[in-house]
Structure 1
Amino acid sequence: MGTIFDVLGPIFALIALGFAARRKGWLGDEFWRPAERLTYFVLFPALLVMSGARANLAGEQALALAGAVGAATLGVAVLTLTLKPVLGLGGAGFTSVFQGAIRPNTFVGVTVAFLLWGDAGLGLISICLLAMVPLVNLLSVTVLVVWGDGHEGARTPARAFREVVRNPLVIACAVGFALNALDAALPAAVGSFLDILGRAALPLSLMAVGAGLNFRHVADNTRAVAASGALKLLVLPALAWTAGDALGLTGEALGMAVLYGALPTAASAYVLARQMGGDAPLMGGLITTATIAALATLGGWILVVQ
């Protein structure tokens, strides 16, 4: 249990600090919105470039890891679609449950990977990001186009694909792995600069997660909250474990497949729901509930993979 607390304790302490800082008015929107953009467009890409460049996972294991998390995500997507008739939700509400079931919080994931496995963990999660950011975005946008309310003029799957190609996290992962494949070393000063930037990504991103927590609209949507949380925090990692084992993953690579599947829902799901006619208030409640519940479920999955 010491290891679990060592990993999850700092993560949720930083989330709690961000929540308190915003709730008490110590730091308002004029801080958090620029901080989120700085993290997303500068700090995290710097971290991922260096992580990808240093990754030493064999090609077959990299493909198997991407295949395991991809298969698990597709499995949960199909299962969520089959559950639509029994959830008792309108189209917009269903899109929020769908996003809640498949979209992982990258900020939490990178921190967990680093605290568990150091630089090797960052290399592993870079593989997951490169494979999954396009897939999750295309699935989410497609469902919102079909069931979202009033999404005229919003993103289509084709436009979503173009945005994914320009996504800073995808670009950073691709650059890092290109450097790795070419065995190209960055100049020492550039590498040190990116390392320093990357170190700022983890604490600031987790505080931003806490600042975004919103407990409204949870009590009125217990069925949706329970379904989305169970699919994301329990079913998806179980499928990732099964798929990873079938594809021959072992050790840290198998553990990464499971833990990537077990991450809580990303705050970016709220933005997409608001843009494309999803139920944004429900989405906010699902994100908050999944983040809090992950304190227990991530601990359980860490026990499983260690």
Structure 2
Amino acid sequence: MVYAQILFPDFSLILLGYLVCRFTPLNRSVWQPVEALVYYLLFPVLLFQSIVKTPIELGPASALIAAGLLSGLAGIAMAYALPYLPGLRRHIDAREHAGAAQVAFRFNSFIGLALADRLAGPQGLQLIAVLIGVSVPLFNVAAVWPMARHGEHHFARELLRNPLILATGAGLCANLLGLHIPELLAPSVTRVGAAAIALGLMAAGAGLQFGSLKDNRPLSVAVLSIRHLLQPLVAWGVARLLALDAMQTTVLLAFAALPTSSSCYVLAARMGYNGPYVAGLVTLSTVLGPASLSLALGVLR
């Protein structure tokens, strides 16, 4: 399988968003409301639908869930440990680290859902939806915690205002209770989900920024190394440890190698941190995404 062909549709939409924003009248003033629409409405609907659509069988999925949580916790631990490493301690500002640590373990769900569908069809889509469902609450708690602590924000309030946590929590509860989206609404919800992926990828491209990356280089290298090198390696080790089957291993490796979430910038800026710097990290992570996905799906798999 030629992974460049699998990755091309998603990254071409990111490139299109970048070009449209930079070289047409549809500039940042247009794309900022689009980002808000995707983050607060379209993407939560997509997450809810992806989780509810197919009943989760906890028995067969338990190993994959455990693998996703173990590799995610490893990523969080590595990100939190950076200010305490001897070679990095004096080069990392605590406040900059609080805003940037999330880049090391959060993921771009738009790319993940689109990629899983092409890699493994409906089954792959359900598997990655399960991973997203159990990981989004954990990763958002881990992202908000250091920023709330350093910025004196109310931790619980920030979590309760997070639309991704609300959507995934509601989706998991509905799935486990056997609830479904009414048949009359299903086509509309499906179209909202398709719009979320396309607009989300283009909005990620429109938000690409390179100018701030010259600041805090040790921190930048560290968080991006965790996201694009160490996370796929950890996922590979966990998949072997838990003896995942081929389908689950493929989805877990793809999940671990995704670029970081474009909403890292939204969260950092909203909580009063260095938004342009985090946007630069998101930009470089998006550029590195094809390399880490090729490593995970081509070499490690």
Q: Distance in 2 between matches of 1:117 and 1:238?
A: 21
* SS of residue paired to 2:157: helix
Q: Distance in 2 between matches of 1:172 and 1:94?
A: 28
Give the paired residue count. 297
Shift of 1:287: 1.0
Quote the residue 2:71 is aligned against: 72
TM-score (normalised: structure 1): 0.86
The one of 262, 265, 269 aligned to 1:274: 269
Quote the residue 1:114 is aligned against: 117
Quote the residue 2:30 is aligned against: 31
The one of 95, 98, 102 aligned to 2:98: 95
Q: Distance in 2 between matches of 1:111 and 1:295?
A: 14
Aligned partner letter, 1:125: I
Aligned partner letter, 2:206: A
Shift of 1:33: 2.3
Quote the residue 2:242 is aligned against: 247
Unaligned runs of 5+ in 1: none
Q: In 2 relative to 1, CA 113–179 (structure 1 residues): closer, same or farther, beyond 3 Å? A: same
* SS of residue paired to 1:95: helix
Tell me whether 1:63 sits opposite 2:62 in the alignment. yes
Any idea what the Cα deviations from partners look like across 1:160-210, whole Å, max 9, x if unmatched? Answer: 33234xx2x444445555554455554433212212222222211110110
Shift of 1:17: 0.4
Tell me, yes or no, if the aligned pair for 1:130 and 1:173 is still in contact at 8 Å.
yes
Tell me, yes or no, if the aligned pair for 2:65 and 2:130 is still in contact at 8 Å.
yes
Tell me, yes or no, if the aligned pair for 1:8 and 1:299 is still in contact at 8 Å.
no
Aligned partner letter, 2:102: Q
Unaligned runs of 5+ in 2: none
Q: Distance in 1 between matches of 2:210 and 2:228?
A: 19
Between 1:35-44 and 1:172-181, the stretch displaced more is 172-181
Tell me whether 1:288 sits opposite 2:283 in the alignment. yes
Tell me whether 1:163 sits opposite 2:150 in the alignment. no
Q: Distance in 1 between matches of 2:33 and 2:272?
A: 25
Any idea what the Cα deviations from partners look like across 1:101-141, whole Å, max 9, x if unmatched? Answer: 11212222222222222222221222122211111121122
Shift of 1:271: 2.4
Tell me, yes or no, if the aligned pair for 1:52 and 1:177 is still in contact at 8 Å.
yes
* SS of residue paired to 2:211: coil
The one of 182, 207, 216 aligned to 1:221: 216
Q: Distance in 1 between matches of 2:176 and 2:77?
A: 34
Between 1:37-46 and 1:63-72, the stretch displaced more is 37-46
Tell me, yes or no, if the aligned pair for 2:79 and 2:105 is still in contact at 8 Å.
no
Tell me, yes or no, if the aligned pair for 1:66 and 1:131 is still in contact at 8 Å.
yes
Q: In 2 relative to 1, CA 162–184 (structure 1 residues): closer, same or farther, beyond 3 Å? A: closer
Tell me, yes or no, if the aligned pair for 1:61 and 1:253 is still in contact at 8 Å.
no
Any idea what the Cα deviations from partners look like across 1:222-269, whole Å, max 9, x if unmatched? Answer: 322221111011111221232233234222222222222211121222
Shift of 1:290: 0.8
Any idea what the Cα deviations from partners look like across 1:17-64, whole Å, max 9, x if unmatched? Answer: 000111113312343123223323333334334332333553123332
Q: Distance in 1 between matches of 2:167 and 2:73?
A: 24
Identity of aligned residues (%): 32
Q: Distance in 2 between matches of 1:71 and 1:20?
A: 38
Aligned partner letter, 2:15: A
Any idea what the Cα deviations from partners look like across 1:271-301, whole Å, max 9, x if unmatched? Answer: 2222334333321221111110112111221
